[in-house]
Amino acid sequence: MAAVIISALLTAASMPGMLWGGLIWFALVPLFFELNRSSLLSGIIKAFAFAYVYLLLSHFWVFPVLSRNVPDVLETFPPFVATVTFFLMGLIMAAPFAGFGIAYMLLKDHLWKNRLFSSLVVASLFVVFESIRGYGPLGFTGGRLSHALINDLGLLQLLPLGGTLLLVFLIVSVNYILYTIMPKAFLKKAALVMIVLGCVFSISSLLERFVPRIAVGDGESGEVVAVQTNFPQSIKYNEPASVVLAVVEDALRSVPEGSWVVMPEATFMSDIRNNYVGSRLQEIVSERDLSVLIGFPTYNDKNYNQVRIIDSNGFGEEFYAKMKPTPFVEILPYPRIFGLFGFLRFLDFFSPGEEYTVFDFAFTNLAVQICFDSYYPEVSRGLVKAGGQVLVTSTNDGWFDHNTALQQHFAQMIFRSVENRRFGIQVSNTGISGVIDPYGRTLKTFPTVFETDEVFLLDTLNFVPRDDQTLYNSYGEWIFTASLMIIGLYLFVVMISPQIKKARKS
């Protein structure tokens, strides 16, 4: 089991905001050593344990949110409940990897001696169960192996071809090839191991040299003013809306007249369309000729965590509602099973959004997603297919005490931008706010709440509208289908090989 823990530690340490992403290229090797000397049941347990440990370590920042921040602000449950909830979260995230353990243990003795084909089969198995981890109301893609490559600009250019699952496929393939090399006379094979790793890093570096740059600030560019509000969650949830309004007023009076302004998710924690706050905002935007994209919940036939535009004409009718409400926090999945966890909700339970709304904003088609929507590639794909020329994430990350959480969330905007070849803008309460080009370069970021005492920050973010259609945007997770085909081909060959040998002998 020690090798399993080593793999889990190396994988967790490779995630954004942790140690070094390069660890991911050999992080799984100890796991494969352990699985290949295990029994069926032991191997299943070890595959699950690997995922359980690395996913909890990667998301360590969730624990203080549950154990301290939410209880202090909302007083909905005692801190000790956070421990049970945190480890239950790990069980849910890691469960699909038990399926990987089952499949791998059943097939490992039949893997061909051909390293390349064996690596493709193992990578396909991993991709299939990694895909399953993101499905359904409990699905979550945080901690995906591909996230370790956030700083590898060259390899990120594979994203428009096959998304993050293509990078997962590549990572697992390299790890399995290294595993097949290392068991036999390691010292003699060390040079080959270094050659494999050297090729990976060299290819990434070579690809990076050819990544183009896009000039911003010329006639084809657009711009928005992003406002990052830095007040703590206790003010948003427990103080009168007038306290938040005072900060928002100051911010809106600080932007140039006639600006297009983007504000964070849940800038206000109540429906402001028909009260004093909404009326006051309309007065300000009218006085200064502003158009403001702002987030707040709405309660009609359905509850939505949404964003919409307010301008001199008042609140617009169009809105984008969060497609992927956070389980237990914003939506209660499978109420008959998890009904007793209803106390975990932060504000209220919301309905998932139903339309990929694209706003006519800042002389472009602005596609806005909310908070952890950016973790799900299908949301950005849907927005781009609906006509989005620029991707925006409006988010409230004020619950997080650790910069690692902010870096991991901002990384998702980078992946979504490159997958769809769109400029990406993130506007966050407390940070990270900034703009990314379609090739994954971060062009500008704001200081986070940990780096400034200002109650709000604002800056102009430039972008160039794009209409590119990438392979990934058109065909989505084709790598999942390809993986199933590779597995199917492998199973077919395994089944007919004994018959062929028998026929030859006869």
Q: Which residues are catalytic?
A: 265, 322, 371
Compute CA distances 165 → 6, 24, 159, 171, whole Å.
23, 15, 9, 10
Residue 47 sits at the vertex; the CA angle it makes with 41 and 52, to the nearest 5 degrees, is 120
Tell me the Cα Rg of the chain.
24
How far is the C-alpha of 256 from the C-alpha of 250, rounded, in Å? 12
What are residue 261's DSSP bridge partners? 225, 292
CA–CA dist 167, 414 (Å, integer): 14
Question: Are 35 and 108 within 8 A, CB to CB?
Answer: yes
| Sequence-ordered list of residues with C-beta below 8 angstroms from that of 497, at least 6 positions apart, any chain | none
DSSP 446: P
CA distances, 260 to each of 288, 290, 370, 452 (Å): 11, 6, 18, 24
Strand ranges (DSSP E) for 374-446? Answer: 390-396, 423-429, 434-436, 442-445
End-to-end alpha-carbon separation of the chain, Å?
45
Pairing between β-strand 303-311 and β-strand 320-321 as defined by DSSP bridges: antiparallel
